[in-house]
């Protein structure tokens, strides 16, 4: 398993491109791996034959583990290396294979596909999440019985030595669950055995509740599937943030009418600024007035960041990525626009590098194009706040005692209450609002 | 005004069982019929055609009786007498059905029904009754597209059944179920038959092997000319015959039987007064229990969108709809519907064809067994044809069954039970079958799914 940089400790194999016994040429893609940040292809360093695969698809191992052997057909493979792949966090196996057999290629290829990952973080990367499933001790007879009956033995209480599940435990489970009452078609049972479905948990739709193939097919479709590494990391980080950071929210609605009109003028002159560009620029300017919003706390100390590293959330089919505009406070409006456009393009093509998604200090999440009026975002770990932008739409509003139609946009700040108070949050969002409503400001900047 | 819990419109194989079922469940029930109880099936479809085919089949066997050591010299038939017998069979069944309806206290009302409102039914234009629930079972009629000229020498199936004599030659336009059944029947009586089908083959919905076998028999043994893959054009009908062009060929015959499909009967029903619309093709959309978009109105059989145009499917739908209309929960409608075709040889089919199974993304295995390998078939002198199982390679589930040959329309029922019950090929193979019978073919073919048929040389497996 190639080393993938300073922070990556483990990776899982997504897919083997070669099978045992296949000839391998130097430069051939041997397998694909996935880390919490990216999917990469790994090429062979050597010519030869793929003798033995030690780490199967979907298994996760520490970097520098031996995952396979390439050598001459018939060559001996060191015995200890053929043992099952080590669980994560265990010492890696001796990677000194016999002279004749070379360790499988380890050169990390350039990221090639879907190199996307979860929100960046200036704090320590989360601990690896993959765990080997708790091993179920079960006698061969009990296992065979469970299989024959199309039930899942994992949850059965074992009464044998060391809690081992023995045949009578399976029999007791069957009796307790009223197994004898279950009616199931022969084909449905075969399918259940094949797909590892416990028929005790399947509701039958046939006559008198008989379990039919369609019922088992539904259970198969409902079977929990492992999430991608990327999704798991998103889950872990957002849970951590939402459960450990006391969020509070303030919303304002912004009159975008004049800015939209000005943008139209710019557009006719060939300008390409997006609404997001104006919002991000307003945020960058305001963050410099309110440095507390550009900080992070652990509850005991607070760290003010010296620059604005602006995260911009980009929705992809497979999840959310947050590329980071570096030193956004040092950029001109045009530079900010260019940087944002380049990152968004890379994100959609799946070409973001892990480094481009790390180290943001404040994040803007714009769902305006997704037709929502307003929403609240979860603060990225390592930041003090996040700004959620809704869509801009024509709205009747009161102006000078009259109802007029204006283009209104809602934005909601989520802030960490440990360092940001309500008053500061309110002042911050109003400062952004004031800027967005001040066309003179934009005329001076574009 | 009369009040009924359930009013059924149409007394065919969808309508009359619905009426009886509703009455069984205690509903006051009316059945409105504008022509004859029993509908197309009993009067101008299933039953009369099978009566004619019974005669033509026996006639064909008589002519081949020499093989069985019998002599039947100078065989002949009296078609008028055959048609008369058909009339008697139909009359008897109709009489029985009338009594059955009466015994169940179903009020049979003669006239054309239409909706006067969501829960009001008019008969012959006059508002006649209030209906708690209405079940539409108006069926279908033969399509007669405008490219087919009208005339004395052009008939559709219903008019054909009333003819008291057979033509010397006949073009059957449309190689579907009706066309092929009439073609085989007429050919057995010695009529020179030509079938023209616009699509690439006759009976395209069948498993390809079954189709090929039938076509072989139709062309080889019955001497039917079958033209497929192009339409019959320039059709002209004169006083003594018809002709048309198939490609460069001119086809001529004394009679043209048009069997190009059937259309739903909804005109005159004033469905819009019930708040119901039809599809572009005139069908009524329903769910699997016959429920329409109007809560109190059901539709079953050929008039529904997605109909299989099979009498027994209509019956099952009718019973489900009536049960639901009477407040009895029907857990789910049975989806496994067998099909029978009374060609020579007969065809029975249920579940998926090999192609459909493959297209569903499964790995598929098949098992075939020829009647020629059965002692009973040989003893009976009926060795043509075979049965075929389609099974899921992964679970061994029997997904479909197809039979072409003697008694195939009877044999398919065993296979239907197996497919509906989701049996595996191994289970069916273990089921003990009577010897010597034609049914043994299913058992042998189930073994053949695993390459283990006893009475079949081992084949090399892929």
Burial class (CB in 10 A: 0-12, 13-18, 19+), B234: exposed
Q: Three-class SS of residue B63?
A: helix
Q: In chain B, which among 271-310 make CB contacts under 8 A with chain A?
A: none
- Contact assignment for A185 to B395 by CB distance below 8 Å: no
Q: Which two tokens stand for residue B20?
A: 């009886």
Does residue A96 sit within a domain? Answer: yes
Report yes or no on A238 lying in a domain.
no
- ipTM above 0.85 for this complex: no
CA distance A311 to A356: 10
Helix (H, G, I), strand (E, B) or coil at B116: strand
Same domain, A218 and A269: no
Say whether both A159 and A273 belong to one domain: no
A128 domain residue, yes or no = no
Contacts A–B by Cβ distance under 8 A: 36
Q: B333 falls in which pLDDT band (50, 70, 90)?
A: confident
Which of A61, A59, A56, A70 is closest to A28 using CA atoms? A70
Contacts of B397 in chain A (CB under 8 A): 186-187, 190-191, 213
Subunit contact B395:A187, Cβ cutoff 8 A: yes
The CATH number given to whatever domain includes residue A108 is 2.40.50.100
Q: Which residues in chain B touch residue A186, judged by CB atoms under 8 angstroms apart?
A: 396-397, 421-424, 427
- The answer to whether residue B32 neighbours chain A at the CB level (below 8 Å) is no
User: Do residue A15 and residue A81 come from a single domain?
Assistant: yes
State the pairing for strand pair B242-246/B249-253: antiparallel
Under 8 Å CB-to-CB from A98, ≥6 apart: which residues? A75, A76, A77, A78
A218 and A147 in a single domain? The answer is: yes
**Rounded mean pLDDT, A58-81:** 79
Question: What average pLDDT score do residues B410-414 get?
Answer: 98
CB contact under 8 A, B397 and A190: yes
CB contact under 8 A, B422 and A187: yes
- A188 contacts in chain B (CB < 8 Å): 422
Query: Which domain covers residue A44, as residue numbers?
Result: 10-120
The answer, yes or no, to whether residue A49 has pLDDT greater than 90, is no
Does residue A431 sit in the same domain as residue A316? yes
Mean per-residue pLDDT, A175-191: 93
User: Could you tell me if A157 and A60 lie in one domain?
Assistant: no
Q: Which of A63-67, A396-400, B10-14 has the lowest mean pLDDT?
A: A63-67
Buried b (16+ CB within 10 A) or exposed e, B190-221: bbbbbbbbeeebbbeebbebbbebbbebbeeb
Residue B22: how many CB atoms within 10 A of its CB?
31
Residue A236 within a domain: no
* Per-residue model confidence as pLDDT tens digits over B160-197: 999 999 999 999 999 999 999 999 999 999 999 999 99
Q: Domain with A361 in it: what CATH number?
A: 3.30.559.10
Say if residue A96 is in the same domain as residue A151.
no
Q: Do the domain assignments include residue A135?
A: no
Query: Average pLDDT for residues A361-379, to the nearest whole number?
Result: 94
Distances (CA, A) of A288 to A360, A366, B177: 15, 21, 81
Per-residue pLDDT tens digits for B344-390: 999 999 999 999 999 999 999 999 999 999 999 999 999 999 999 99
d(CA A308, CA A324) in angstroms, rounded, equals 10
Residues A256-262, mean pLDDT to the nearest whole number: 96
Shared-domain flag, residues A163 and A84 = no
- Please tell me what DSSP assigns to residue B150: P
B393 touches chain A (CB under 8 A): no
Residue B15 contacts residue B31 (beta carbons within 8 Å): yes
By Cβ distance, the residue of B331, B332, B396 closest to A187 is: B396
Q: Note whether B191 and B166 are within 8 A (CB).
A: yes
Across chain B, which distance is largest between two alpha carbons, in Å? Answer: 73
Residues of A in contact with B421 (CB under 8 A): 185-186
Do A72 and A182 belong to one domain?
no
Q: What is the pLDDT of residue B461?
A: 53
Q: A187 and A193 in contact (C-beta within 8 Å)?
A: no
- Residue with the larger pLDDT of the pair B442 and B333: B442
Flag whether A233 is in a domain. Answer: no
d(CA A209, CA A219): 15
CATH of the domain at A162: 4.10.320.10
3-state secondary structure chain A: CCCCCCCCCEEEEEEECCCCCCEECCCCEEEEEECCCCEEEEECCCCEEEEEECCCCCCEEECCCCCEEEECCCCCCCHHHHCCCCCCCCCCCCCCCCCCCEECCCEECCCCECCCCCCCCCCCCCCCCCCCCCCCCECHHHHHHHHHCCCCHHHCCCCCHHHCECHHHHHHHHHHCCHHHCCECHHHHHHHHHHCCCHHHCCCCCHHHCECHHHHHHHHHHCCCCCCHHHHHHHHHHHHHHHHCCEEEEEEEEECHHHHHHHHHHHHCCCCCCHHHHHHHHHHHHHHHCHHHHEEECCCCEEECCCCCEEECEEECCEEECCEECCHHHCCHHHHHHHHHHHHHHHHHCCCCHHHHCCCCEEEEECHHHCCCCCCCCCCCCCCEEEEEEEEEEEEEEECCEEEEEEEEEEEEEEECCCCCHHHHHHHHHHHHHHHCCHHHHHHHC
Query: Percent of chain A at pLDDT above 90?
Result: 54
- State whether A287 and A409 are in the same domain: yes
Question: What is the pLDDT, as a whole number, of residue A111?
Answer: 32
The whole-angstrom separation of Cα A188 and Cα B397 is 8
> How large a percentage of chain B has pLDDT more than 70?
99
The candidate with the shortest Cα–Cα distance to B339, out of B329, B330, B352, B327, is B352
Total number of domains constituting chain A? 3
Give Dmax (Cα) for chain A.
90
CB distance A186–B332 less than 8 Å? Answer: no
pLDDT at residue A93 above 60?
no
A171, HSE (Cβ side, Cα atoms, 13 Å): 5
Nearest Cα to A165, choosing from A184, A189, A146, A183? Answer: A146
Which residues of B belong to the active site? Answer: 435
Task: Please indicate whether, in this complex, the C-beta atoms of B332 and A187 are within 8 angstroms of each other.
Answer: no
Q: A401 lies in a domain?
A: yes
Q: Read off the pLDDT of residues A98-114 as tens digits, 9 standing for 90 and up.
A: 333 333 433 333 333 33
- The H or E element containing residue B123 is strand B120-123
Residues from chain B contacting residue A185 (CB–CB below 8 Å): 421-423
Q: Which residue has the higher pLDDT, A347 or B203?
A: B203
Regarding whether A373 and A322 lie in a shared domain, the answer is yes
Which residue in chain A has the smallest CA separation from B333? A206
Q: What is the dihedral of CA B425, B430, B433, B438, to 10 degrees?
A: 30
**CB–CB of A185 and B422 under 8 A?**
yes
Do A295 and A372 reside in the same domain of the chain? yes
Residue in the structure block whose two tokens are 């956004």? A328
**A77 lies in some domain:** yes
């Amino acid at each position: 398993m190639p080393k993938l940089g300073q922070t990556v400790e483990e990776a899982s194999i997504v897919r083997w491109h070669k099978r045992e016994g296949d000839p391998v040429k130097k430069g051939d893609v041997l397998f694909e791996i996935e880390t919490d940040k990216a999917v990469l292809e790994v090429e062979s360093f050597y010519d030869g034959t793929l003798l033995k695969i030690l780490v199967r698809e979907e298994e996760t191992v520490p970097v520098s583990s031996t995952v396979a052997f390439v050598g001459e057909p018939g060559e001996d493979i060191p015995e200890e290396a053929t043992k099952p792949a080590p669980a994560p966090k265990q010492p890696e196996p001796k990677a000194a294979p016999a002279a004749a057999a070379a360790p499988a290629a380890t050169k990390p290829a350039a990221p090639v596909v879907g190199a996307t990952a979860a929100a960046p973080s200036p704090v320590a990367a989360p601990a690896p999440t993959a765990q080997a499933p708790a091993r179920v001790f079960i006698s061969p007879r009990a296992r065979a019985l469970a299989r024959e009956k199309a039930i899942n033995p994992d949850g059965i209480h074992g009464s044998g030595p060391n809690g081992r599940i023995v045949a009578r435990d399976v029999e007791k489970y069957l009796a307790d669950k009223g197994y004898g009452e279950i009616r199931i078609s022969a084909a449905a049972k075969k399918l259940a055995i094949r797909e590892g479905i416990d028929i005790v948990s399947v509701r039958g739709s046939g006559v008198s509740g008989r379990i039919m193939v369609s019922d088992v097919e539904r259970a198969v479709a409902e079977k929990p599937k492992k999430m991608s590494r990327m999704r798991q990391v998103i889950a872990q980080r957002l849970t951590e943030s939402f459960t450990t950071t006391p969020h509070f929210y303030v919303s304002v609605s912004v009159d975008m009418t004049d800015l939209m009109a000005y943008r139209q003028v710019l557009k006719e002159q060939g300008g390409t600024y997006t609404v997001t560009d104006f919002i991000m620029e307003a945020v960058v300017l305001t963050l410099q007035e309110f440095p507390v919003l550009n900080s992070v706390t652990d509850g005991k100390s607070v760290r003010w960041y010296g620059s604005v590293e602006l995260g911009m959330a980009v929705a992809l089919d497979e999840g959310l990525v947050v590329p980071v505009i570096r030193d956004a406070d040092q950029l001109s409006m045009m530079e900010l626009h260019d940087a944002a456009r380049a990152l968004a393009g890379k994100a959609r093509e799946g070409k973001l590098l892990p480094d481009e998604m790390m180290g943001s200090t404040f994040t803007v999440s714009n769902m305006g194009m997704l037709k929502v009026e307003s929403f609240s975002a979860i603060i990225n770990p390592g930041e003090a706040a996040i700004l959620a932008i809704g869509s801009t739409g024509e709205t009747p509003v009161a102006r000078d005692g009259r109802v007029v139609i204006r283009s209104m946009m809602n934005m909601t700040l989520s802030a960490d209450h440990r360092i940001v108070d309500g008053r500061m949050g309110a002042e911050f969002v109003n400062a952004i609002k004031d800027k967005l409503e001040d066309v003179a400001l934009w005329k001076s900047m574009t | 005004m009369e009040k009924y819990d359930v009013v059924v419109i149409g007394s065919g194989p969808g309508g009359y069982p619905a009426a009886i079922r509703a009455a069984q469940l205690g509903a006051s029930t009316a059945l409105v019929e504008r022509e004859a109880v029993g509908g197309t099936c009993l009067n101008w479809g299933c039953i009369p055609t099978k009566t004619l085919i019974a005669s033509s089949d026996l006639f064909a066997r008589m002519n081949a009786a020499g093989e069985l050591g019998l002599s039947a010299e100078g065989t002949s038939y009296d078609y008028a007498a055959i048609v008369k017998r058909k009339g008697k069979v139909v009359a008897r069944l109709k009489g029985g059905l009338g009594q059955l309806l009466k015994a169940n206290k179903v009020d049979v009302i003669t006239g054309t029904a239409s909706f006067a409102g969501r829960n009001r039914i008019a008969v012959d234009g006059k508002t006649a009754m209030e209906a708690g629930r209405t079940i539409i079972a108006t069926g279908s009629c033969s399509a007669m597209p405008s490219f087919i000229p009208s005339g004395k020498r052009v008939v559709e199936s219903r008019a054909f059944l009333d003819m008291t004599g057979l033509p010397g030659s006949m073009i059957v336009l449309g190689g579907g179920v009706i066309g092929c059944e009439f073609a085989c029947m007429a050919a057995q009586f010695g009529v020179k038959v030509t079938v023209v089908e616009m699509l690439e083959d006759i009976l395209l919905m069948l498993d390809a092997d079954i189709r090929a076998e039938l076509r072989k028999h139709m062309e080889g043994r019955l001497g039917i000319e079958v033209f497929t893959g192009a339409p019959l054009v320039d059709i002209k009908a004169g006083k003594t015959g018809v002709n048309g062009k198939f490609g460069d060929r001119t086809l001529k015959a004394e009679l043209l039987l048009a069997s190009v499909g059937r259309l739903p009967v909804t005109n005159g029903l004033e469905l819009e007064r019930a708040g119901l619309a039809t599809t572009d093709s005139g069908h009524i959309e329903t769910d699997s229990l016959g429920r329409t978009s109007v809560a109190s109105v059901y539709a079953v059989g050929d008039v529904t969108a997605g109909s299989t145009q099979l009498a027994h499917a209509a019956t099952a739908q009718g019973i489900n709809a009536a049960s639901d209309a009477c407040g009895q929960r029907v857990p789910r409608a049975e989806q496994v519907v067998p099909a029978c075709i009374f060609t020579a040889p007969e065809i029975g089919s249920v579940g998926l064809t090999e192609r459909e199974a493959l297209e569903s993304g499964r790995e598929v295995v098949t098992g075939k067994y020829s009647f020629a390998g059965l002692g009973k078939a040989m003893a009976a002198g009926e060795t043509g044809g075979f049965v075929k199982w389609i099974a899921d390679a992964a679970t061994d589930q029997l997904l479909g069954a197809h039979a072409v040959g003697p008694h195939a329309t009877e044999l398919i029922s065993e296979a239907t039970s197996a497919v509906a019950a989701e049996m595996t090929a191994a289970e069916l193979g273990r089921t003990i079958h009577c010897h010597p019978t034609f049914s043994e073919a299913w058992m042998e073919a189930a073994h053949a799914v695993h390459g283990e048929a006893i009475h079949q040389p081992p084949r090399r497996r892929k």
